[in-house]
């Protein structure tokens, strides 16, 4: 249960803080200070959580990461299910607190389709998630990397946000997208499946690539 609680807390913090930064700064597809701050917020939360709950759960706080670890042989199906449930509950709780603080007028950091296109949005999310999960698998593949893994993973998440915010607001995390969408409803909820399917496909592809180039992963 400690692992699941850690995943709940980590995802809660990710949505509350990082999606909160996106909401209160008015982050949009326009390259400005809010755009950069949001990318840094997502990466910064990952770094903070990696060095606080990483020793407990591995700090996945993302179903796409957990899927990549599962397919790479790094966790059991039972733990995968527990992680995903905890992550979604944490994201909903984080979005609920954010909603209580600022309402829905700022969007809660929800994702949106790029150019109104499901296909384009799926392609963006698959590619960006693949890059991110591949970085996670590589950074955590060796014990000697443990001191810097959090920085690498946080930097990678910042990197994909710097590109992805323009297109979809950047999900690369089904739980992170579902929490805000559930509270917002409307268009955000109707298209949230894209930001569940895309990242999961990207995570699975990353696991396949890592098996081909890096070998099997270690147990969490």
Please report whether residue 220 resides in a domain: no
Please report whether residue 12 resides in a domain: yes
pTM (two decimals): 0.94
What confidence score (pLDDT) does residue 215 get? 63
Please report whether residue 88 resides in a domain: yes
Tokens representing 86 are 């905890």
Domain tally for the chain?
Answer: 1
Cα-based distances in Å from 74 to 63, 102, 141, 153, 202: 14, 39, 10, 17, 17
pLDDT in tens, 27-74: 998 889 999 999 999 999 999 999 999 999 999 999 999 999 999 999
Residue ranges making up the domain that contains 20: 2-213
Please report whether residue 34 resides in a domain: yes
Burial 24-44 (b: 16+ CB within 10 A, else e): ebebeeeeeebbbebbbbbbb
pLDDT in tens, 2-28: 999 999 999 999 999 999 999 999 999
- CATH of residue 53: 1.20.1080.10
């Amino acid at each position: 249960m400690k692992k699941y609680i850690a995943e709940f807390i980590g995802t809660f913090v990710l949505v509350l803080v990082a999606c909160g930064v996106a909401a209160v700064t008015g982050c949009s597809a326009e390259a400005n200070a809010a755009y950069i701050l949001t990318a840094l917020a997502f990466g910064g939360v990952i770094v903070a959580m990696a060095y606080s709950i990483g020793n407990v759960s591995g700090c996945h706080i993302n179903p796409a990461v957990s899927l990549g670890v599962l397919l790479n042989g790094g966790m059991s199906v039972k733990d995968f299910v527990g992680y995903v449930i905890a992550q979604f509950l944490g994201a909903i709780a984080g979005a609920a607190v954010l909603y209580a603080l600022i309402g829905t007028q700022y969007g809660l950091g929800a994702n949106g389709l790029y150019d109104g296109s499901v296909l384009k949005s799926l392609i963006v999310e698959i590619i960006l998630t693949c890059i991110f999960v591949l970085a996670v698998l590589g950074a955590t593949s060796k014990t000697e990397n443990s001191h810097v893994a959090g920085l690498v993973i946080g930097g990678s998440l910042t990197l994909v946000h710097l590109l992805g915010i323009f297109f979809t607001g950047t999900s690369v995390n089904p739980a992170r997208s579902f929490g805000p969408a559930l509270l917002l409803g409307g268009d955000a909820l109707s298209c949230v499946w894209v930001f569940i399917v895309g990242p999961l496909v990207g995570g699975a592809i990353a696991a396949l690539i890592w098996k081909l180039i890096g070998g099997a992963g270690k147990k969490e």
